[in-house]
Chains A and B, each alone.
Chain A
């Protein structure tokens, strides 16, 4: 089955700096890659997603890049704010319509 690895597990940045989280996947048939933000006591919230026919997607301060050849994708957050502090999960959807999640990155934005 699909295996998704996510790095780093924790990330601390100064407010206003950029944050980058990287994920790799194993199943070359995976075709959909969402990113979720999870705050304490809440369910995961979709923040951006990318499909396998696109290399990059941007939504205001958030961008995602996908390298299908290398089987990795990354989340970029620019101009970080304290409210960006949360746990971020990447996921990959492989054959069988199943989402496999990474292990999460705890992002702390220092004021």
Chain B
């Protein structure tokens, strides 16, 4: 089966500009996650969707970050305005089922590497 697709692979912008990332999960996967991975660290969850509803966005900096998953399939993550500390790899993952007891594995895309100048 096709994996999680993300684009673009790389993005360079200046601080205070805006940027958007796109994710297409594995076909049929109801749960979609966006993670931020800063160099030398493990991924950190930003937001989780179950179908087109938000399950957890407690760690999303809502003053500058936004995400949507219209129609419960593709998702976009936006940053506006970007700050220097937003330089990171933004990873999208999907799983077939979410929930406390589902324990379905999360499958990751290759991410978008964002550099802020």
Interface set of A (CB-CB < 8 Å, partner B): 4, 6, 31-32, 34, 36, 41-46, 49, 51, 89, 91, 93, 95-99, 101-104
Contact = CB atoms under 8 A, between A and B. Distances in A.
A104 B102 contact: no
Contact of A43 (B41, B100, B103, B108): B108
Interface residues of B, number: 25
Nearest to A95: B100
Nearest to B45: A98
B42 A96 contact: no
B103 A98 contact: no
- Interface of chain A: mostly helix, strand, loop or mixed: strand
Contacts of A103: 40-42
Given A43-B111, A44-B91, A102 B106 contact: no
A44 B41 CA distance: 12
Contacts of B56: 96-98
Given A97-B55, A101-B43, A103-B42, A44 B108 contact: yes
B44 A101 contact: yes
B100 A46 contact: no
Contacts of B43: 44, 89, 101
Interface of B: 4, 40-45, 48, 55-56, 91, 93, 98-103, 105-111
A43 B45 contact: no
Nearest to A29: B100
B89 to A, nearest CB: 8
A97 B102 contact: yes
Given A6-B42, A98-B45, 15 more contacts: A32-B103, A41-B110, A43-B109, A46-B105, A46-B107, A49-B105, A51-B103, A91-B42, A95-B100, A96-B100, A97-B55, A97-B99, A102-B42, A103-B41, A104-B42
A89 B106 CA distance: 13
